[in-house]
Amino acid sequence: EILSTRISPFQQVNIIDTYDFGRCLVLDGVMQTTELDGYIYNEMISHVPLVTHPNPKKVLIIGGGDCGVANELTKYPELREIDMVEIDEVVVEECVAKLSKISGKAPQDNRVNFHFTDGVEFVKDKKGLYDIAIVDSSDPIGPAEVLFSEEFYIDLKNSLKNDGIMVCQSQSPIFNKDILSRTYHILKRHFPIVKTYKAVVPSYPGGMWSFTLASLTYDPINANLGKLVTNTSYINPEIFQASFSLPNFMSGDLGIL
């Protein structure tokens, strides 16, 4: 059932209800997040950098209009500010109204500041501000294409404090090898520590999904896993560690590891 259709200045925004996946956000016909498995993606892109950084206070989210990432971050009382920069206000309006299972407590948490603007423009004049930046973008077509460019990653690095961490979703290791490989190698040119990790998200093409973390100081291998909150449905200390074990083809064909 199509629950709503809105045409924003950036894209077509649909909320649909399905038998197998429950309610879903669809942008320009592409599935973005679902009630069935959205938590897997949202937990993995949020908790891994949060736990890797020993003392994060200020976090930037680029994209993330479904508010699922912001909701995961609200589980950490030590965070003081969460700046969420989403180009399309309509996505947030629709998800807060109809996908509250995913947006959760984020809209009510006064540490979450919504900025409705282009993430690329937003980061340009931000220098040394953030402990962590999370790029929760849609596919690299349309408004999100620029979020995969080297210029943007350089600006994002400059927006971090000198021990900052950034993480992005780096697409399917099966179907988007070129994007994952390009992302990894661009980040390698600008950060001393770059690690790709994976999770299974059934509603995304191929199921297996990749994330790439780039860090100026802290290595996820040395993370204090005791910091990981326990009110999660997917990530736990064992999953955190196992997610960095990659199949042979990712180190071979992609040159990652």
CA–CA distance, 207 with 180 (Å, rounded to integer): 15
- Residue (14 or 138) nearer to ligand SAM, CB: 138
Residue 155 binds ligand SAM, judged by CB under 6 A: no
Distances in Å between the Cα of 137 and the Cα atoms of 20, 55, 74, 146, 246 are 24, 25, 19, 10, 23
CA–CA distance, 257 with 184 (Å, rounded to integer): 10
Nearest approach, Cβ of residue 22 and ligand SAM (Å)? 15
Which is catalytic among the residues 136, 139, 178, 219? Answer: 136
Query: DSSP character for 212?
Result: E
Region binding ligand SAM by CB under 6 A among candidate stretches 102-110, 140-148, 190-198, 240-248 = 140-148
Question: Which are the contacts of 67, defined by CB distance < 8 A and separation ≥ 6?
Answer: 84, 92, 95, 96, 102, 103, 104, 106, 107
Residue 64 binds ligand SAM, judged by CB under 6 A: yes
Binding residues among 214-233 for ligand SAM as defined by CB under 6 A: none
Nearest approach, Cβ of residue 109 and ligand SAM (Å)? 18
Which residues are at the interface with ligand SAM (CB under 6 A)? Answer: 25, 32-33, 41, 62-66, 85-88, 91, 118-120, 136-138, 143-144, 146-147, 169
